[in-house]
Structure 1
Amino acid sequence: MKLVHFGHSCVLLETEHARLLLDPGAFSTGFESLRDLDAVLITHQHYDHIDTEKLPALLKANPSARLIVDAGTTKTIDNLEIDVTTAQPGDTFDLGGTRVTVVGGQHATIHTDIPVVPNVGYLVDNGAFFHPGDAFFVPEQRVDVLALPTAGPWLKAAEAVEYLRAVSPKLAIPVHEAVLARPSTYIGLYTNLAPDGTEVRVAPHGEPITI
């Protein structure tokens, strides 16, 4: 399995059978030129996870790609006139021969005055890879590779550490870092406080790594 990080929460996951793009948002770059995608998966409606200006052209260039979004995002793309599948927790999809299970349900709380929006996580091949979006959902299955949220208005470093320990993956790839001036400060903290048996590894922007 290979992964390419296009910044923030956007990753391309290449399994043995499929090419899956997750959360191509406004803080991410380089995903626009991708081809031969089997699916584009969106965890929630915030613009740093779905770039509605670039999405139509991306899907037009990938006519076989299936767009899968959470329930809250359907309203965001109503006027784009593109085919979409709404994902609910508990759903399972076969995408190019790769099994993707939908989990979670809600975005983490930003502030009590801000409404909580839907958020789903995508569990690939029964735990081989997990992208939680902006949430602290812990799957029942063992997770091999976790896309670890690094920083944001909805989390603090201690929460990210506790989440990393709760999931306890074999490998954590830091994502959701674009809001930081110096991501290495946080990544170093997570590396030092990771549970035994967990490696924290930075995926250089736009470069494929084997996971």
Structure 2
Amino acid sequence: MHITHLGHACVLVDTGSARLLIDPGVMSDIDGVERVDAVLLTHKHPDHVDPEKVRTLRARSPRAALVVPGDIGEAMPGLPEHQMVEPGEALRFGDTVVEVVGGRHATVHETIPGCVNLGYLIDGGAFFHPGDSFHEPAADVRVLAVAIDGPWLKIAESIDYVRRVSPRVAIPIHEGETLDPAKYIGMMSNAVGGAVVRRLDRGAATRL
């Protein structure tokens, strides 16, 4: 499996059977990305979905499925044709199986309305992207994408999340607003226990 971090929460996962792009938002850079089998959106916030980027990608990969949570259509009417999914569903792209899990976005504040947030579990736990949540899938996760910055979290919560899920490798994402991501990644590396914390250079594919 090759994983490419394309900025903030956007990750390209190449399983060898399918190429899956997750959360191409306004802080990500997908220039040059093509031959995608599916675009998976976790939720409707702009840092996770930019309709213009999705339309551009669809022009380069016209057969790519666009998979979205059920409340995204009314929030972003400019999205191309898409498939709405809910937790409990499973999707197949080639020989790759994507399980839809999760439910709600992590709470920012009790006065701020939440939204649907989906997580995508790929090939039984080979890779898991939780979106903006601390959802713990009922599977052994080998590679976990973990947010390290945002208005809905603090680094202690991210560390505790990695310790609970106990992946072999943790990949820091959602760092587009962080002034010094190396500081947070260093804290996490020293505190998560057995997981290896691997920062991915932006745009460079890493085999995991």
Q: Which residue of 1 aligns with 2:93?
A: 95
Task: Give yes or no for contact 1:10–1:25 (8 Å, CA) kept in 2.
Answer: yes
CA distance in 2 between counterparts of 1:66 and 1:76 reads 19
Deviates more, 1:149-158 or 1:71-80: 71-80
Task: Give yes or no for contact 2:19–2:38 (8 Å, CA) kept in 1.
Answer: yes
Task: Give yes or no for contact 1:173–1:200 (8 Å, CA) kept in 2.
Answer: yes
Q: Which residue of 2 aligns with 1:201?
A: 198
Tell me whether 1:56 sits opposite 2:50 in the alignment.
no
Amino acid at match of 1:157: I
CA distance in 1 between counterparts of 2:78 and 2:191 reads 45
Q: Which residue of 2 aligns with 1:157?
A: 155
CA displacement at 1:74 relative to structure 2: 2.1
Gaps of 5+ in 2: none
SS of 2:31's partner is: helix
Q: Which residue of 2 aligns with 1:144?
A: 142
Amino acid at match of 2:58: L
CA displacement at 1:87 relative to structure 2: 1.4
Gaps of 5+ in 1: none
CA distance in 2 between counterparts of 1:96 and 1:155 reads 35
Task: Give yes or no for contact 1:33–1:58 (8 Å, CA) kept in 2.
Answer: no
CA distance in 2 between counterparts of 1:186 and 1:23 reads 22
Q: Which residue of 2 aligns with 1:28?
A: 28
Amino acid at match of 2:200: A
Give me the TM-score of the superposition, normalised by structure 2: 0.98
CA displacement at 1:35 relative to structure 2: 1.1
Cα shift readout 1:124-154 (whole Å, capped 9, x = no counterpart): 0000000000000001100000001111000
Task: Give yes or no for contact 2:51–2:78 (8 Å, CA) kept in 1.
Answer: no
CA distance in 2 between counterparts of 1:173 and 1:35 reads 23
**Length, aligned pairs only:** 208
SS of 1:60's partner is: helix
SS of 2:163's partner is: helix
Q: Which residue of 2 aligns with 1:134?
A: 132
1:151-190 mapped onto 2 (5 Å cutoff): 151-190=149-188
Cα shift readout 1:87-122 (whole Å, capped 9, x = no counterpart): 100000001221000000000000111001000000
CA displacement at 1:186 relative to structure 2: 0.5
CA displacement at 1:166 relative to structure 2: 0.7
Q: Which residue of 1 aligns with 2:17?
A: 17
Tell me whether 1:67 sits opposite 2:34 in the alignment.
no
* Runs of 4+ more than 4 Å apart: none
CA distance in 2 between counterparts of 1:77 and 1:119 reads 15
